[in-house]
Amino acid sequence: MSHLSIPPEPVRVLVADSTRMQSQLLSGALRRRPEFTVTCALVESEAILEVLQTTPVDVALFCADRETEIASALAILRRVHLAYPTIACVVLVESYDRDLVVNVFRSGAKGLFCSAETPFRALCKCIHSVHAGQVWANSKQLRYLLEVITHVPSLRVVNSAGDELLTTREEQVVALVAEGLSNREIAKELGLSEHTIKKYLFRVFDKLGISSRVELVLYAVSHGDSRNAEWIAGN
């Protein structure tokens, strides 16, 4: 007896763009892919929130080119992220610099996609990746994020109320992960065993609800709060 496989549910995508023409071009290309259902809206707070009140969305694409458009899109993204935290947001741009990368992820985005560098088929992969709970960022973007963290001597990871989530030792481990050190190098730096460092990392992942070092770096960028260098390796 044969078993028919049930096709997965399509990913529900919202395309938010500043012009209807660009929105129609992108949404048309996505609609030709059977794994997506697509809804469009202008990049305006009220227009997007009105759509979200009536239409289920899994992934929201915010398209912006000019500097003023990007600033507006990020402000709207922050509002959407607060109101609908389960929606994975991706910002589409034609170019980016260090500040834009940091601001995009600080605003709550799960991905930054550069259309000038990457083909359309990669955008489809990006949508599936963020829908699956992953983060979409290339090596250059991750390097920018790492630079932001390593510019401060220590990280104090806090929640929205300002309460500390990690112990001092866990903060040390996070800061050294952000500097790009391996578990073995962190163990040597702190005078601990590699097994102990792994235990600290698992504890940090559990507290923050994440599962990878990349997500840890991104979380620290979004939630980290710098303070004086009051910790010294091994203390």
pLDDT band at 177 (very low <50, low <70, confident <90, very high): confident
Instruction: Please say if the pLDDT value at position 178 is more than 50.
Output: yes
Report pTM: 0.65
Nearest to 235 by CA among 177, 176, 192: 192
Structure confidence at residue 233 (pLDDT): 42
93 and 131 fall within a common domain = yes
Q: Are 43 and 62 in contact (CB under 8 A)?
A: yes
Residue 99, in any domain of the structure: yes
105 and 69 fall within a common domain = yes
Instruction: Please say if the pLDDT value at position 4 is more than 60.
Output: no
Residue 5, in any domain of the structure: no
Structure confidence at residue 128 (pLDDT): 94
Structure confidence at residue 79 (pLDDT): 86
Residue 232, in any domain of the structure: no
Highest mean pLDDT of the ranges 3-7, 111-115, 206-210: 111-115
120 and 170 fall within a common domain = no
Structure confidence at residue 74 (pLDDT): 87
155 and 131 fall within a common domain = no
39 and 91 fall within a common domain = yes
CATH value at residue 51: 3.40.50.2300
Q: Are 90 and 62 in contact (CB under 8 A)?
A: yes
Q: Are 37 and 10 in contact (CB under 8 A)?
A: yes
Task: Give the domain-ending residue among 90, 109, 137.
Answer: 137
What is the Cα–Cα distance from 32 to 36, expressed in whole angstroms?
8
- Please give the residue range of the domain that contains residue 211: 145-226
Task: Give the domain-ending residue among 117, 137, 157.
Answer: 137
pLDDT band at 57 (very low <50, low <70, confident <90, very high): very high
For the stretch 103-134, pLDDT in tens is 898 888 999 999 888 888 899 999 999 999 99
- What mean pLDDT is reported for the chain? 81
Two structure tokens written together for 47: 């227009």
69 and 130 fall within a common domain = yes
Instruction: Please say if the pLDDT value at position 182 is more than 80.
Output: yes
117 and 42 fall within a common domain = yes
Q: Which 3 state secondary structure label does DSSP give 66?
A: coil
For the stretch 73-98, pLDDT in tens is 888 888 888 889 899 999 999 889 98
Structure confidence at residue 189 (pLDDT): 80
Q: Are 124 and 94 in contact (CB under 8 A)?
A: no
97 and 170 fall within a common domain = no
For the stretch 220-234, pLDDT in tens is 666 655 544 344 344
122 and 159 fall within a common domain = no
Instruction: Please say if the pLDDT value at position 7 is more than 90.
Output: no
